[in-house]
Amino acid sequence: MKKLFTLAAALLAFALHGNAGDYSTWGKLKVVGNQLCSQSGEPVQLRGWSTFGHFDGLEKAFNDEGDFQRMKQNGANLARLAMYINEGKGYQGNQDYNKQWMKSCIDWCKSQNMYCIVDWHMLNPGNPNDYSGAEDFFREICQYVKDKGYDHVIYEICNEPNFDEKGLDVMSSKVEQVWKNVKTYAAKVLPVIKQGDGDAVVLVGTPQWDQGLTWALQDPLDKCGLENVMYSFHSYAGDQRRYLGYISSAAAFMPIFVSEWGLSSHTGDGGDFNVAKKTADMLMDICDGKNLGNQIISWANWSWCDKGEVASSFTSYDGNQWSQSGEYVKNALKQNNNYTSLESKPYNGEAQVFDGVNDFELDLMKYDEGGFGVAFFDNDEDWKDNRPCTESPACNMGNAGQLDGIREDETVDLGYTYGNGEELGDGYISLGWISQSEWVKYTMDIKYGGIYEFEIFTSNRQSMSDSDYEGFNKVAFALDGKNCLVEEDGTEHYKVVDLTPCHGGSGESTAYQDWDWTEVKSSYAPGKKFYLKLEKGRHVFAVAFMATSAGLGTIKFKGKPENEDVSVEDIKASHNVSIWPNPAENGNVNISVNADAEVDIFSVDGVNVYSGNVAAGTTNELNLNLPAGIYSVSVKSEQGVTTNKLIVK
């Protein structure tokens, strides 16, 4: 099983290396869990610029190895090499010239110990299958990389796939076709890369200009045997702030690479730069680990050129005149950031308790404390100044907040449900006014680990009635920033499921008064049943809304009484060791086991830092005073040998 890295692991890596890492220190990269990591397994962050491409009149802004020297001098460890297909001196017009140009750029990056992204920069039309030459291009570039013995190269197989209808909502049914196009294209190109450079990191574009991350989660890609596949996300601070929730939530479920972002509008120009800087600051925080998955995310700024657009890094390259965008990125590259996790706290200091035996209904009102971006991500935060809640800085738009003042000073929209057609308030506190990419956290005390059935209390309201739209009502679940949605055998293939209207769905407003329990289903996996995999101890459970949704009443975790086929004892046996807190401060950690066991703790260097016995049903409180790092906990008992990861911060 792949080990999953949390932000605390990233803290160790950056504490040791700062932001000075490059190819000379990190070597060949790989993906571990959702995290981009060095050859030795430490989390890394690549940061730098994307080239604009080879265009007539712009060669002075991108010409030779000097460009990469200059990027490196300004703190970059990454260059994205945009291989335009049609525009400028595009690939379609001169294939041999462009292949050689790309090879030279790869050489220049290697000489500077920089990583590089070979970007097949398709844009218009938006279907990657409409272009010829991709397989031939990647085959030759992979062969060149292999012959030179290089391993600093990342492949981005399709820039910004889209439906070519500007303004199309990222969750439209037409976007579903975009993802199908990408999957068809990937099935042709990924095997080429697998054969030529099979251990390389590969970036796959996502629908609607690399912003529809949900589609890769609900309808998974066939990776064609590649182990290091990531997904591209693009963002423009001038007019796309509302999409930041996508990356913030999806970071718990998939490996993400921000292969293009800018301080302009999505056109490359326009927008209020002061407003854009605030949004860019938020994006940088998200990339630095302030996201639901605590994932450290790499990025490339658009763009290294002097075209004269807001997104251009220079106003005059020859005169060394940096633009406002260029100055912002230079300063960002200089930062030795403090990478901190989103450490929310239980509401009123008390975790909600699930005993594993009796059914448990989550109290949605008791979401964690910590505020926006830490305990929840609610898009009302962007809109609150324009909402009718004038007496407080934030705005709870649910009727529970408006009528009874339930957490009314925060933007999580708490409301009341109807209880199976009865009066308002006979049901549960609900989450409403749900827009795409919102998430919220709940601290839970889980008495027994196991795989549990669950149900959701939903209304009969469809989130959209327009026949052109499908794919709404999508939800995902995480435990401590990692996916916990599984199939019965524990498989984690589908990570997004439907938030189904309870009685078939209705577009009438009265459907909000009709609530009932619904099974969890996926329209992409008909007939499959889904469960939640929960670990023993205190954990943070998160609900992530991956699309606009009509509302969530509550979640029922179904207990496992001892007279059922799968009993609490089975649950105990399936989880014979618990380690908490994890991450641990200074190595102060508790270890409990369900069977008599020998416990050994090793550092990453293989040094045994603790060895002892733990009796069944007891807890050992260890004060090890360990330096920050990643440790391996080996537990030997009659049930076998298990290995667990312990993070000390």
Task: Name the average pLDDT for the chain.
Answer: 83
Average pLDDT over residues 610-618: 86
Q: How far is CA 42 from CA 338, 595, 632, in A?
A: 17, 33, 14
**28-80 residue pLDDT tens:** 999 998 999 999 888 899 999 999 877 665 655 677 888 999 999 999 999 99
Domain positions in the chain: 47-334, 347-557, 576-648
- Per-residue confidence (pLDDT) for residue 183, from 0 to 100: 96
Binned at pLDDT 50, 70 and 90, residue 12 comes out as: very low
Average pLDDT over residues 469-480: 79
**167-190 residue pLDDT tens:** 455 555 678 889 999 999 999 999
What the block records as the tokens of 348 is 């009123």
| Topology, domain 576-648 | Immunoglobulin-like (2.60.40)
Instruction: CATH number for 347-557: choose from 3.40.50.150, 1.10.3720.10, 2.60.120.260, 3.30.413.10.
Output: 2.60.120.260
- Per-residue confidence (pLDDT) for residue 4, from 0 to 100: 33
Average pLDDT over residues 608-622: 86
For residues 542 and 477, the answer to whether their CB atoms sit within 8 Å is yes
Q: Is the pLDDT of residue 537 over 80?
A: yes
Average pLDDT over residues 605-633: 83
- Per-residue confidence (pLDDT) for residue 336, from 0 to 100: 65
Q: Is the pLDDT of residue 208 over 80?
A: yes
Residues tagged active-site: 160, 260
What the block records as the tokens of 33 is 């869990």
- Per-residue confidence (pLDDT) for residue 505, from 0 to 100: 82
| Topology, domain 47-334 | TIM Barrel (3.20.20)
- Sequence-ordered list of residues with C-beta below 8 angstroms from that of 495, at least 6 positions apart, any chain: 217, 218, 220, 253, 254, 476, 483, 485
Average pLDDT over residues 254-270: 86
Q: How far is it between the farthest Cα atoms of the chain?
A: 79
For residues 287 and 246, the answer to whether their CB atoms sit within 8 Å is no
- Per-residue confidence (pLDDT) for residue 467, from 0 to 100: 36
> CA 481, CA 199: separation in Å to the nearest integer?
26
**354-394 residue pLDDT tens:** 999 899 999 999 999 999 889 999 887 665 554 444 445 55
Which DSSP letter does residue 365 get? G
